[in-house]
Amino acid sequence: MNIDWNKTPLLPVISQDAITNEVLMLAYMNQEAYELTKTTGFAHYFSRSKQRIWKKGESSNHTQEIVDMLLDCDNDTLLLKVKQNGVACHTGRKSCFFTSVTQNKIISEPEVNMNALYGVVDTLYHTILERKSGQETKSWTKKLLDNPILLNEKIIEEANELCKAIKEESDEQVIYEAADLLYHSLVGLGSREISPDRVKQELARRFGMSGIEEKENRIK
């Protein structure tokens, strides 16, 4: 029952409703997340996009209480039997598996409006990723993602327009231009699949450090 963490630094984890046996989601654990899950009785995972450990439900409070933890025969995949509080998927659906490939359609609808639970930045970022993998040709987001040169030009353009607004225009126009820049910046992050959570982590790292100190550290 020993996990070789050197061989499998990120353990694939399937979570399953302990009562209905419905498969809820697939995620990953590193050793720290695995130990936290065992000791706290709640599912913790390692996010490859956020590059950090996260407790399931830390933002939404839709936690997963552990009923059982089962290793497969090779000790390199884990099955969690859980009591799902709320829903498992960030889209508001009970399970993350809601798109039928054989039927070519979505087979379940959201049960919870997650926009009220997640911040607008995270919600927008997830929407951008959905556009990235979708087939909607009329989407401006999709057009930007499919054309890196256009995306870079728009980020530069929106940054210039924000600078101009800050210097010359009303507060309302500054807010409007800042929103435009934030949106296009998030599309840029989405093109690289860099979660905005990692930007928040970088800002948290800098918190309490003066701008001069931060710049000197980067130069070093």
Q: How far apart are CA 164 and CA 218, in angstroms?
A: 28
- Which burial class, exposed, middle or buried, applies to 113 when counting CB atoms under 10 A from its CB (0-12, 13-18, 19+)? exposed
How far does the chain reach from its first CA to its final CA, in angstroms? 45
pLDDT in tens, 29-55: 999 999 999 999 999 999 998 899 999
Contacts of 178 (CB under 8 A, 6+ apart): 162
Residue ranges of domains in the chain, CATH in brackets: 11-106 (3.10.20.810), 119-214 (1.10.287.1080)
Element holding 114 (H helix, E strand): none
- DSSP annotation of 113 reads -
For 200, the token pair is: 């928040």
Closest CA to 56 of 38, 35, 31, 37: 37
- Per DSSP bridges, beta strands 105-106 and 99-100 are antiparallel
Per-residue pLDDT of the chain (220 residues; tens, 9 = 90+): 689 999 999 999 999 999 999 999 999 999 999 999 999 999 999 999 889 999 999 888 999 999 999 999 999 999 999 999 999 998 889 999 999 999 988 999 989 887 767 788 988 998 999 898 877 778 999 999 999 999 999 999 999 999 999 999 999 999 999 999 999 999 999 999 999 999 988 998 888 765 445 445 544 4
Closest alpha carbon to 88 in 11, 34, 13, 9: 13
Output the CA torsion 184→185→187→191 (10° steps). 140
Q: How far apart are CA 55 and CA 66, in angstroms?
A: 12
Give the distance from CA 174 to its chain's centroid.
28
- Model confidence pLDDT, tens digit, residues 87-123: 999 888 999 999 999 998 899 998 988 776 778 898 8
Q: What letter represents residue 56's amino acid?
A: K
- Residue at token pair 């934030």: 182
pLDDT for res 74: 92
